[in-house]
Amino acid sequence: DIQMTQSPSSLSASVGDRVTITCQASQDISNYLNWYQQKPGKAPKLLIYDASNLETGVPSRFSGSGSGTDFTFTISSLQPEDIATYYCQQYDNLPTFGPGTKVDIK
Amino acid sequence: EVQLVESGGGLVQPGGSLRLSCAASGFTFSSYEMNWVRQAPGKGLEWVSYISSSGSTIYYADSVKGRFTISRDNAKNSLYLQMNSLRAEDTAVYYCARQSSGWRFDYWGQGTLVTVSS
């Protein structure tokens, strides 16, 4: 099975800050990686697919990059409504999710 | 508007069974692959099972293989998950999720809570 790790596990940042989350796969997964946002008590929401493509309707402050084993998710200017847990998900084989990164406002 | 509505969750004893349903609307259900994803309380997301648009191809996570059965009824726009031999570690919110290309889960239901406890 392909294992996914994320760092950090949590972070606090100020409104307007640039926030970066990394996701690492245990083996090469090309660009077969998606990113989701989950707010408390809500279902996950797809933000980024195929490592770097923005899902329709998602604000442009969200972006993704990377390929192979190392991936990055960025919020260019953190907004209060971005408080959530963010998950990466690989699909090179059957899908697996990373453990999540909880983002708070400082 | 795409809608996925899960139902069937509840409290069940270890070793018991439960059948979850997911009612789909707002899109051509028979054209889409579907999945179940679960989330234990306070934990992360875990993919559970996949079914192709026709129902001919099915996959399971190792943690549920042999105990859970996914199925669909395209005439009723519905997805199902039959869960047998339930264990405490199956306690979770179960989401149904529509899959677009490349294992992209683009729409999710609100989830239904399954609690396995004596």
DSSP per position, A3-17 = -EEEE-SEEEE-TT-
Query: What mean pLDDT is predicted for residues B102-113?
Result: 96
- Does A89 contact B44 at a Cβ distance shorter than 8 Å? no
- Does A98 contact B110 at a Cβ distance shorter than 8 Å? no
Predicted local distance difference test score (pLDDT) of residue B102 = 84
pLDDT higher than 90, residue B85: yes
Predicted local distance difference test score (pLDDT) of residue B32 = 98
Query: What mean pLDDT is predicted for residues A66-81?
Result: 98
Predicted local distance difference test score (pLDDT) of residue B87 = 98
pLDDT tier for residue A93 given thresholds of 50, 70 and 90: confident
Q: What is the mean pLDDT of chain A?
A: 97
Give CA B3 to chain center in angstroms.
Answer: 15
- Does A94 contact B50 at a Cβ distance shorter than 8 Å? yes
Predicted local distance difference test score (pLDDT) of residue A84 = 98
Chain A 42-101, residues with CB within 8 Å of chain B CB atoms? 42-46, 49-50, 55, 87, 89, 91, 94-100
- b or e along B60-91 (b: 16 or more beta carbons within 10 Å of the residue's beta carbon)? bbeebeeebebebebeebbbbbebeebeeebb
CA triple B112-B44-B99, angle to 5 deg: 65
Predicted local distance difference test score (pLDDT) of residue B33 = 98
Predicted local distance difference test score (pLDDT) of residue A1 = 87
